[in-house]
A = this chain, B = another copy of it.
Amino acid sequence: MIINKKWVLKKRPEGLVKNTDFELISENLREIEDGEILIKNEYLSFDPTQRMWLTDLPGYLPPVQIDEVVRAGGIGRVLESKNPTYKEGDLIFGMVGWQTHLITEAKEEDRFRLIPELLPIPTMLNVLGTTGITAYYGLIELAKPKAGEVVLVSGAAGATGSVAAQLAKEAGCYVIGIAGGEQKCNWLKGCGLDTVIDYKNSNVHEELFKAAPNGIDIYFDNVGGPLLETVLFLINMNARVMLCGGISGYNATEPQPGPRNILNLVVQRATMQGFLVLDYLPKSQQAVEKLAGLVLEGKIKHLEDIQEGLENCPQTLNRLFTGENYGKQMLKL
């Protein structure tokens, strides 16, 4: 008999999450049935979007319901299989949740997919996971950077931002990154970014005007908020603003003001586009191979912030919003 430990949602958090918003419970798992597999989770992924799923606002995925296990991506290994697609020992990417085990049919439409062990597991969860794939599709396939263009990435030390910034360098662009704190900024300089702005120790709006005297062609936005307005003053003709996330507002209890200069999109014939990695996961094999290659060649540097222990899930999620995390946030089970 296998015991699963899991965090379920007990009430909608306000601001940073608290342990008391959840309950950690143990349950005996039943036997698996035909078509199902039993997964033992190895690493859980922590991403800003998970905070959104805990609200009851409509989003691109339904809210996590009260008493449901907290939704999260991660990597697990097949312990037992009655499904011909998977065998014992296989590694699986998927929405595994804040728990030690799960029984699932692991369908692709439910966002489970088998992965070859191309790289160490934490590296795969980082660069080859949803965050890396998000960066690849948002930057390469949608924004289509051309050599010489100026690319700005906010949340540049984050899991998605750091891959987007390095893909932009690889494409021959001039890359400006924004991150919080000296440690993250120094790491980004080591990744080859041309200019790095530390928003915690400078006036990011003023620094941005200095850093982009020739304007901005692509803005890969992970943070939203007042920065978007500043960037809209700086966009060049035919600029592309890729809306990837808005971490600045995820813990907010009321709507944040929007940019007052949206008409600059008209003046500059620019495009602001929202996208979600979910649309690209089913065809992500090409991106995964490309990203794995760049990691092996040393062209994409990466950093993992690995916490441990299922009991630390709530605090690990908060690290993304307090800026404590240094590298892709994950938790080892």
Interface positions of A (Cβ within 8 A of B): 58-60, 224, 228-229, 243-246, 249, 255-276, 279
Contact = CB atoms under 8 A, between A and B. Distances in A.
Given A224-B263, A243-B263, A249-B263, A268 B258 contact: no
Contact of A266 (B58, B60, B260, B262): B60
A303 B20 CA distance: 64
Nearest to A241: B272
A212 to B, nearest CB: 16
A228 to B, nearest CB: 7
A275 B260 CA distance: 18
Contact of A243 (B59, B228, B265): B265
B255 A257 contact: no
Contact of A258 (B58, B246, B259, B269): B259
Max chain B C-beta neighbours (<10 A), residue from A249, A259, A270, A274:
A274
Given A257-B257, A258-B257, A263 B274 contact: yes
A189 to B, nearest CB: 29
A243 B258 contact: no
A243 to B, nearest CB: 5
A267 B61 CA distance: 9
30 contacts: A59-B267, A60-B267, A224-B262, A228-B262, A243-B263, A245-B266, A246-B262, A246-B266, A249-B263, A256-B260, A257-B258, A257-B260, A258-B260, A258-B261, A258-B262, A262-B272, A263-B274, A264-B274, A265-B272, A265-B274, A266-B274, A266-B275, A267-B276, A269-B275, A269-B276, A270-B274, A271-B271, A271-B272, A272-B272, A272-B273
The 8 closest A-B pairs by CB, nearest first: A258-B258, A265-B274, A266-B274, A255-B260, A258-B259, A272-B272, A271-B273, A60-B267
